[in-house]
Structure 1
């Protein structure tokens, strides 16, 4: 049953307000999956704070458009782009080597790249399972390790992994996705404990359903019912990419200097709501 308490009400306003955080200006930030959606919103949020950016994605056209948008919106922004697959280990090592050479440091990694997997588990092929785990989980470790090897030399660094509310709760037809996102939660905590002594903080964000281009497209094709998803959410709407970016901004900032091993979920109350 769908909770319909939000039906017939006026559209819900987000009330979103961006904030300024200390310790971001001048830092070098690597963002994977940054050609659009939450990754691009992260790029805009960190650019607003004066960070230097290296955007990584497999979408060449999207990367070029993102760079153009950022340079137009944020005067004087220092932004580079690199086309690379997060499941190509050699390409990822090249990305971080370039970042270190170009900017002199790797201060913040936003491990955001991922794919959607929505298929009944009895129909999921072994190759589809492995691909989902590779993109959504294995790449997170590979990128984190490449960044951490540079951060250890610096004696400091921040890594923010994008998990999901489905790393905390489960849903049908998303077995590989849920498993990977739950793996990110455990990985985040484990590496936070192991790498804390090197001055590296490791946290994760757990977005709920968010209005990205992918989600909008799934809504248009009927694969997601966005109205039902909004009604199922206690706040009565989907999240916005900027709201998720703000979580990463806070966790990467000096305002969160004593926060590590934490999973910050922003789902409008979805995981708290047991009434279907």
Structure 2
């Protein structure tokens, strides 16, 4: 089990104030990591830090926008100065705009790309500098089912997540010589507060996901924790440039098999 021990490690999770980002942060903390949590909203940070504290996890908040390179650079410098190092970076902060491509404003398309693709590049570049110096580091990019599949209404999001998959592979290629592993997690469809309105019985999308997923259900956020711990720990030291899809089997099949 020492392979999965994160005691003494500092983990920076962008957007780790709610949803899947918080689930991953909780998992890393349960394995011993000290948390550094970022967001662009102070209220969300305050609430999240309180929730981590209730569980006995050490978590420090930082307020900045990952797409603002100047602000992000100053924040990373403060984090390294205060915590000594950043061992693990989870690029989780992201947005989605659901709109048909023909109706989408170019400015909105660019905003999604900026947050979901440029943001991870900015943070990886800044954090990797010290990782390269120390010859050690783990970077985890939050990819998506849309890194592989298309769907109505999410052209910008899918473009960004497809790009993030390839950014993951390229950064892994560049930084492997420095003992840095860059991998991704591709979540399937999870039961979060954001998906609650469409997870009611009878909702067409709820029925679609249940029927499309071989396990026949939505994932629970804490089911991402094990994959995150694995990719952040010594257990994955020779795993690089990969995206691990935690999707209940969606990508393995053209559809959920008919009844027993």
TM-score normalised per structure 2: 0.92
Please identify runs of 4+ aligned residues in structure 1 that moved more than 6 A.
none
Match of 1:270 in 2: 250
3-state DSSP class of the match of 1:118?
coil
Match of 1:113 in 2: 93
Match of 1:60 in 2: 42
3-state DSSP class of the match of 2:238?
coil
Residues 1-276 of structure 1 aligned to structure 2 (within 5 Å): 22-74=4-56, 77-217=57-197, 219=199, 225-275=205-255
What CA distance in whole angstroms lies between the structure 1 residues aligned with 2:77 and 2:165? 27
What CA distance in whole angstroms lies between the structure 2 residues aligned with 1:114 and 1:20? 32
Match of 1:6 in 2: none
Q: Structure 1 residues 224 and 126 mapped into 2: Cα distance closer, same or farther (>3 Å)?
A: farther
Please tell me whether the aligned partners of residues 21 and 249 of structure 1 are also in contact (alpha carbons under 8 angstroms).
no
Q: Which runs of 5+ in 2 are unaligned?
A: none
- Deviation per residue, 1:172-226 (Å, 9 max, x gap): 2211111110101100011101101111110000001111221224557x99722
Please tell me whether the aligned partners of residues 21 and 49 of structure 1 are also in contact (alpha carbons under 8 angstroms).
no
Structure 1 residue 93, shift from structure 2 partner = 1.0
Please tell me whether the aligned partners of residues 39 and 45 of structure 2 are also in contact (alpha carbons under 8 angstroms).
yes
What CA distance in whole angstroms lies between the structure 1 residues aligned with 2:106 and 2:239? 37
Q: Which structure is higher in helix share?
A: 2
- Deviation per residue, 1:234-258 (Å, 9 max, x gap): 1111112111232111111111111
Match of 1:12 in 2: none
- Deviation per residue, 1:127-158 (Å, 9 max, x gap): 01100100111111001001101111111100
What CA distance in whole angstroms lies between the structure 2 residues aligned with 1:253 and 1:163? 19
Structure 1 residue 272, shift from structure 2 partner = 2.4
What CA distance in whole angstroms lies between the structure 2 residues aligned with 1:171 and 1:159? 28
Please tell me whether the aligned partners of residues 106 and 147 of structure 1 are also in contact (alpha carbons under 8 angstroms).
yes
Structure 1 residue 118, shift from structure 2 partner = 1.5
Structure 1 residue 228, shift from structure 2 partner = 2.5
Over aligned residues, Cα RMSD in angstroms? Answer: 1.9
3-state DSSP class of the match of 2:194?
helix
Q: Which runs of 5+ in 1 are unaligned?
A: 1-18
TM-score normalised per structure 1: 0.87
Structure 1 residue 45, shift from structure 2 partner = 0.9
Please tell me whether the aligned partners of residues 5 and 31 of structure 2 are also in contact (alpha carbons under 8 angstroms).
no
